[in-house]
Amino acid sequence: MIYVDTSALLKRYIEEGDSHRAASILSENPTWITARITLVEVRRNLTRLLAGEDRLAAQAAFAADWQRMHVVELDETTCESAAVVAESTGARSLDAIHIGAAVRACGRGGTFVTFDLKQAQAARAMGLTVRGLPT
pLDDT for position 17: 85
Give yes or no for a contact between 97 and 36, defined as CB atoms under 8 angstroms apart. no
Cα 46 to Cα 3, 72, 92, 111: the distances in Å are 20, 21, 22, 25
CA dist 129 and 111 (Å) reads 5
Residue-level pLDDT at 134: 58
Say whether pLDDT at 133 is over 90: no
Domain boundaries, the chain: 2-132
Helix, strand or coil, per DSSP, at residue 71: strand
What would you report as the CA-atom Rg of the chain, rounded to the nearest whole angstrom? Answer: 14
* 135 pLDDT more than 70: no
Residue 99: count other Cβ atoms within 10 Å of its Cβ: 32
Q: How many angstroms separate the CA atoms of 32 and 69, rounded?
A: 6
| pLDDT 10s digits, 49-92 | 999 999 999 999 999 999 999 999 999 999 999 999 999 999 99
* Superfamily per CATH, domain 2-132: 5'-nuclease (3.40.50.1010)
Cα of 7 vs its chain's centroid, Å: 6
pLDDT at 79 (0 to 100): 97
